[in-house]
């Protein structure tokens, strides 16, 4: 009776603002920029954005951007999510990392889990956020009609304000080898460790570890899928339930969209700060003009802007291709291949690299007192990209051979199937 009631309530749940448009959502992110800029240092000290900013994000609709509409979300598309995150990152990169890697995973829950799990997870008031850690750093064993989950998962970005976490686990069953799976675990069943902030950058990203001892989840809160490469060849639970191809794609392309959107936002944040610096300082020499009027300072601005525009278009374009590939797959016109996901990831990695190059250039051109001094925004942006560069998802050199190998294997398979 209880589960039926929940289902009916969730099925009829409308988003807080049914007429909200994607452009209004993005405009709200732009409008929050002054408050995000002002709160950067405090967010670093705290390890995440403030409860007040969390409330502002919630009221703006950011957490519901990709959440299914039948469960109180706005069900916008991935390009909209990418553009919104870029604008938040332009105000505070660490806060954007924390937001993106909690709000964005509504897509993955809607993609991988069945109706009963989604009804319970998204139910209630419709607010949902989930940090995710795909590496299987724990186990799941059968217990009491469900699963007992044990383990510790590090770098669970976005966890301070998460209602759930999604974690990779190894399913342990008697007589069989461990199997990869994804567990969705409510906040009441895990503990967030106080172990974030002692890093060079992204200190506001809320990337704390999560610990579970004796956590219990129902049967339907676990799916036997490899989080990095779920089987989408026959469609997904979410695509069938919601009729939206956004929930029919792979995970690598989407995960990389989250991270690269933040990186592009960091680049534009550095560009804004550089402009502020050169408009307030004079070039060297007698009767020197403002730096903003001198070609030696205009040049880095123009080059950086060009790199960032290329990166922005690359991210939004990849987000749209993700939607297109998922739609074609759902329509049966083209299979969404593993190499498609890897191609999207590779392009998005290089979009982030363009932003890194832009920030490097602006950092060097800003001079020591404006860029390298503790407390300056330019130093913070340089530290943030330095930290981001260590993320496995941004190591394009390590992923390049995997992409080539997968493409060659798929092509060989197609050619082999054509042989008489």
- pLDDT value at position 11? 54
Phi first, then psi, for residue 126 (nearest 5°) are: 85, -5
Which pTM was predicted? 0.94
Is CATH 1.20.1050.10 what the domain over 2-111 is classified as, yes or no?
no
- pLDDT value at position 420? 61
Query: Which architecture does CATH list for 249-410?
Result: Up-down Bundle (1.20)
Residues 277 and 281: their CA atoms lie apart, in Å, by 6
C-alpha distances out from residue 266 to 129, 260, 356, 379, 384, Å: 23, 10, 9, 12, 8
- Yes or no: say if 88 and 77 are a contact pair by the CB < 8 Å rule: no
- Buried b / exposed e along 369-403 (16+ C-beta atoms within 10 A): ebbeeeebbbbbbbbbbbbbeeeebbebeebeeeb
For the chain, residues with pLDDT lower than 50 are: 1-10
Instruction: Burial-class residue 37 by CB neighbours within 10 Å (0-12, 13-18, 19+).
Output: middle
- Yes or no: say if 167 and 235 are a contact pair by the CB < 8 Å rule: no
Please state the three-class secondary structure of the chain as a single string. Answer: CHHHHHHHHHHCECCCCCCCCHHHHHHHHHHCHHHHHHCHHHHHHHCCCCHHHHHHHHHHCHHHCCCCCCECCCCCCHHHHHHHHHHHHHHCHHHHHHHHHHHCCHHHHHHHCCHHHHHHHHCCCCCCCEEEEEEEEEEEEEECCEEEEEEEECCCCCHHHCCEEEEEEEEECCCCCCEEEEEEEEHHHCEECCCCCCCCCCCCCCCCCEEEEEEEEEHHHEECCCCCCCCCCCCCHHHHHHCCHHHHCCCHHHHHHHHHHHHHHHHHHHHHHHHHHHHHCECCCCCCCEHHHCHHHHHHHHHHHHHHHHHHHHHHHHHHHHHHHHHHHHCCCCCCCHHHHHHHHHHHHHHHHHHHHHHHHHHHHCCHHHHCCCCCHHHHHHHHHHHHCCCHHHCHHHHHHHHHHHHHHHHHHHHHHHCC
- pLDDT value at position 291? 95
- pLDDT value at position 174? 78
Query: Which architecture does CATH list for 128-228?
Result: Beta Barrel (2.40)
- Provide the residue ranges of all domains of the chain, joining segments of one domain with +: 2-111, 128-228, 249-410
């Amino acid at each position: 009776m209880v589960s039926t009631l929940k289902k009916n309530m969730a099925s009829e749940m409308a988003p807080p603002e049914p007429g909200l448009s994607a452009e209004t959502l993005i405009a709200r992110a732009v409008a929050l920029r002054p408050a995000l800029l002002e709160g950067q240092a405090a967010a670093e000290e705290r390890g995440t954005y403030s409860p007040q900013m969390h409330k502002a994000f919630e009221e703006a609709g950011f957490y519901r951007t990709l959440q299914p509409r039948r469960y109180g979300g706005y069900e916008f598309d991935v390009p909209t999510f990418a553009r919104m995150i870029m604008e938040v990152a332009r105000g505070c990169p660490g806060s954007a990392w924390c937001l993106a890697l909690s709000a964005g995973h509504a897509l993955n829950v809607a993609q991988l889990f069945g109706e009963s799990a989604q009804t319970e997870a998204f139910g209630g008031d419709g607010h949902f956020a989930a940090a995710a850690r795909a590496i299987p750093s724990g186990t799941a064993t059968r217990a009491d009609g469900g699963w007992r989950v044990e383990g510790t998962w590090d770098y669970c970005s976005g966890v301070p304000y998460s209602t759930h976490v999604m974690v990779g686990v190894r399913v342990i069953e008697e007589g069989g080898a461990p199997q990869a799976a994804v567990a969705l675990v409510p906040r009441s069943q895990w503990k967030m460790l106080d172990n974030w902030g002692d890093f060079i950058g992204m200190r506001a990203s809320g990337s704390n570890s999560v610990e579970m001892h004796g956590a219990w989840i129902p049967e339907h809160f676990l799916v036997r899928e490899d989080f990095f490469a779920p089987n989408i060849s026959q469609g997904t639970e979410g695509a069938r339930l919601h009729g939206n191809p956004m929930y029919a794609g792979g995970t690598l392309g989407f995960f990389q969209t989250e991270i690269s959107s933040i990186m592009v936002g960091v680049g534009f944040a550095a560009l804004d700060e550089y402009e502020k610096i050169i408009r307030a300082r004079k070039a060297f020499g007698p009767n020197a003009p403002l730096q903003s009027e001198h070609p030696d300072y205009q040049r880095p601005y123009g080059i950086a802007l060009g790199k960032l525009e290329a990166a922005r278009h690359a991210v939004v374009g990849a987000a749209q291709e993700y939607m297109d590939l998922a739609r074609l797959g759902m329509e049966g016109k083209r299979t969404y291949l593993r190499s498609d996901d890897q191609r999207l990831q590779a392009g998005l990695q290089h979009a982030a690299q363009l932003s890194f190059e832009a920030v490097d250039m602006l950092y060097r051109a800003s001079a020591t007192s404006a860029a390298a001094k503790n407390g300056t925004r330019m130093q913070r942006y340089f530290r943030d990209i330095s930290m981001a560069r260590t993320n496995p998802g941004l190591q394009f050199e390590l992923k390049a051979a995997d992409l080539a190998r997968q493409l060659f294997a798929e092509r060989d398979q197609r050619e082999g199937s054509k042989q008489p």
